[in-house]
Structure 1
Amino acid sequence: MEDTIIISEFLAAAEAGDIDTLQRFLQQGVDINARNKQKRTAILLAAMSDQLETVKFLIQEGADINLQDQICLNPFLYGCINGKLELVKIMLQANTDLERLTRFGGVGVHPASEKGFVEVVRELVTTTDINVNHTNICGWTPLIEAILLNDGGEKQQEIVRLLVEHGADTQLVDQYGVTPLAIAREKGFTAIENILQEAGAK
């Protein structure tokens, strides 16, 4: 019972960004990778509370940055899903595993592309070798998500451009055999249609 209380205090300190308390617990031998009922670690809770200095401290202390909670979140994927560029950069510097999957079977660039987080997408495609052609459990690549699940506006156009410039295959189809170009056309996204055609999409 005592252990449970100590772990919950340790995790609460991470969430609150209380580095002194974390340090004290670690010196007492608390497991840096201890989890709560949702399987969330201290570093994930710190990341979800925007406690970036605490995230850096826990990385320095040897936290396992790739552990995922019961809905597949870890600090890197949380950052990609929520457009937290600074957090994403910290995790990239710490060599986060780019192949960890979201609960929909996508890599980090999937949700960032879908949600219109241009700067996160730019960071991922220009500074890492993340797989821009990874297909998730719905049969979608990041390019398809960027077109299908948003409004076709300027942010989405920029993301489509970034993906195409950094190796997105414009011919990879969805689970029904529909191409990105056909999706853009069907949704009336003329600007995206033009970007894809310029990239040789058919």
Structure 2
Amino acid sequence: MTSPRHEKEFLAAVHQGDVATVERLLARGADAGTRERHSGLTALMIAAGRGDAPLVRRLLRAGADPYTADSRGGGTALHKAVQGGDPETVRALLRAGAFVDAVAATTGHTPLMDALWYKWPEVTAVLLEHDAGLNLSTHYGFSMRRHFEYELNVNTRGKEQLLAAERLLTARTAADAEAAGEQRLMASVVAGDLTAVRELLAAGAAVDARYPMVNGFDDGHTPLLVACRDGRLEIARALLAAGADVNATEPTFGAVPLHKAVYNGHAGITALLVRAPGVDLDFQGITNGYTPLHDALWHGYEQCARILVEAGARLDLIGHDGKRPADVARASLGAEHPLVSVLNTDL
């Protein structure tokens, strides 16, 4: 359904929470991603801002995109849901995969910052349960904590809601510190202490335990991801022997251990990983669609690239920039480099 009249009818039904009309129009081909022209809001954002969780869930089932931003302020449906203050709507979007730390293009606000601004402690609690970051900053230079302090100072009403949110932030900060302190295996990996790693694994340490989300370099990483990133070959070998997930992804770049190894030129670890049972040689990261082979070539690590090619990595996959491994190699190593010819084979 593309006519302005039908768009207007569909959006009016969303504004009114008229589920029956929305259902009828969706059945007739209405686009769940319809955007309101004057506001820049999608139907999902409108329903989210109204705190209409059932309608939000219906639009999501119909294909509405929880990741897109509004065309004026750059906020997502999750931002709108947070502003509306309905915890269940926020949960519905997070269950659908909405990014808990999505940043509004104009302000740099995360949903958590908006929850504090709008003084919704219950919504704050939901976001914190989903690992919302506490150490991010706005585009105008306020850290989340400074942002909150500002709110405490300027608000004359709703102070009790802000104080309730402050208690939640304090509790989450303490829980993060405790969780980080309990990560003895990760600490040993970072320190390069192979003996301690082996002792902890023998004592039953969780081999794939993920580091808490504290807006640091290790956020959401497993010990294997860190070992491969930091060049800890024997530690990586011990972790794999203990059953570490060779295809574990980290949340920032969506990278697997192979990406971490080749990006930093660790050929020994690359050779170890390509022989690991079940390894995905061709996993494409979420930020740029690059495979480990792309990454190895991007940084000019010829040995890592050759290990991947010999292990059977695909040569035809295309990154988000439209480049195949051969294209990356040409730019990085030069058009006459022998590896470029290898990568062009059978393409």
TM-score by length of 2: 0.44
Query: Structure 1, residues 94-132: CA drift from partner, whole Å, max 9, x if none?
Result: 010122112310110001111110000001112433111
Letter in 1 for 2:279: I
The answer as to 2:322 corresponding to 1:162 is no
Q: Residues 184 and 193 of structure 1 are in contact (CA less than 8 Å); yes or no, is this contact kept in structure 2?
A: yes
Decide which moves more: 104-113 or 183-192.
Answer: 183-192
Moved over 6 A (4+): none
Q: Match for residue 209 of structure 2? A: 67
Q: 1:176–1:201: structure 2 CA closer, same or farther, 3 Å change rule?
A: farther
How far apart are the structure 2 equivalents of 1:201 and 1:184? Answer: 16
What's 1:46 paired with? 188
Of 266, 291, 316, the match for 1:141 = 291
SS at match of 1:100: coil
Paired position in structure 2 for 1:119: 268
Q: CA deviation at 1:170?
A: 0.3
Higher RCO (CA-CA < 8 Å; seq separation 6+): 1
CA RMSD of aligned residues (A): 1.8
**CA positional deviation for 1:178:** 1.5
Residues 114, 192 of structure 1: alpha-carbon distance in 2 compared, 3 angstrom cutoff: farther
Q: What are the within-5 Å matches in structure 2 for residues 70-109 of structure 1?
A: 70=213, 71-102=219-250, 103-109=252-258
Q: Which amino acid aligns with 2:186?
A: L
What runs of 5+ residues in structure 2 fail to find an aligned partner?
Answer: 1-174, 214-218
Deviation at 1:134, TM superposition (A): 0.4
Q: State the distance in 1 between where 2:272 and 2:194 align.
A: 18
Amino acid at match of 2:255: G
SS of match in other structure, 1:169: coil
1:161–1:195 Cα contact (<8 Å) kept: no
Report the CA distance shift for 1:172/1:94 in structure 2 as closer, same or farther (over 3 A).
same
- Relative to structure 1, is the Cα distance of residues 184 and 124 closer, same or farther in structure 2, using a 3 angstrom cutoff? same
Alpha-carbon distance in structure 2 between the residues aligned to 1:121 and 1:136: 17
Aligned residues: 161
CA deviation digits over 1:125-147, x for unaligned, max 9? 12433111001112110001111
Q: 2:338 corresponds to which residue?
A: 191
- Which residue is equivalent to 1:130? 279
For the Cα contact (< 8 Å) 1:181–1:201, is it kept in 2?
Answer: no
Change (3 A) 1:182 1:39: same
Percent pairwise identity: 25
Report the TM-score when normalising by structure 1.
Answer: 0.73
- Distance in 1, Cα, partners of 2:221 & 2:178: 10
Distance 2:223 2:238 in 1: 9
Distance 1:192 1:38 in 2: 48
Q: CA deviation at 1:182?
A: 1.5
